[in-house]
Amino acid sequence: MQQREHVRCLIIGSGPAGYTAAIYAARANLQPVEYCGLITGGQLTQTTVVENFPGYPDGVDGNQMMMDLRAQAERLGTDIRDGEIVKADLGSRPFVLTTDRGVELEAETVIIATGASAKYLGLDDEKKYNGQGVSACATCDGFFYRKRTVAVVGGGDTACEEALYLAGLAKKVYMIVRKPFLRASDVMQKRVKENDKIEILFEHNAVGLFGDNGVEGVHLVKRLGENDEQRYDLPIDGFFLAIGHKPNSDIFREWLDTDETGYIITVNGTPCTKVPGVFAAGDVADPHYRQAITAAASGCKAAIEADRFLRGV
């Protein structure tokens, strides 16, 4: 029988939520063990400059910010490990979780901070221009496109919200919508259609991007596959994806309540899940804000709740 390692507080994920949970858990002497997951540092490592996180008056490189948080968590005593948790049994305590190397961990408490992955179209150019004009977060990156021209891909409420936010900054916003209608709620459709800065391109597909120094335009196809199909290039400075996020919660869904998309449902605005001793923090439980600062705050709360749980408070 394989020997199991016992852990008082296991933290899964290494974005702002995971690292902040680690900082607080370490200071509470919970001897936290943190597994970084597939992307060490989370989504912010794919961002160039972060300007909206308090404490960095001149902005900070996303990778550097995550390195700073990691160093702080390590200095305080967190055991940070590379690797991914691939299996979870939350049916009884101690919880049993398995890493991608087959190591089994017995955890008294678990903080899930696995984040959510933005959905992309699957274009090679999205990877090529990532951080150079391609973004999946208008609130994060819209500031860099003041008085410039941008495009938002999507036709739901999220896309409309992103377009409206960007319209407050950019000089022109195109919405690239593959269907002949918006899927958004009536009130969001009305707001978008009444905004003079927003132009909706119905029945359009983005099939590529171009530019020598970052994104300079998008290759579009109108009425793809139809007899009157039209192909043309549209000059833009920024390309924003707003076709949804997928929470990284699959291995926990047998045990925890989630919404239809997969976001973990927590109790009354706390990081507590329906399983005592299991907590969720950051984007994996947040379909609304998805910001580094809110993720960090929820990581703090999760660690405090884990400490209270272990002390029986």
**Can you tell me whether residue 15 is helix, strand or coil?**
coil
204-210, strands of its sheet edge to edge: 204-210, 217-222, 230-235
Taking alpha carbons only, the member of 141, 117, 135 closest to residue 37 is 117
Taking alpha carbons only, the member of 93, 66, 91 closest to residue 80 is 66
Phi then psi for residue 8, to 5 deg, are -75, -45
**Can you tell me whether residue 268 is helix, strand or coil?**
coil
Amino acid identity, position 292: A
What's the CA gap between 116 and 108, in Å, rounded? 25
Catalytic residues, by residue number, are 137, 140-141
Q: Are 209 and 126 in contact (CB under 8 A)?
A: yes
What's the CA gap between 181 and 184, in Å, rounded? 9
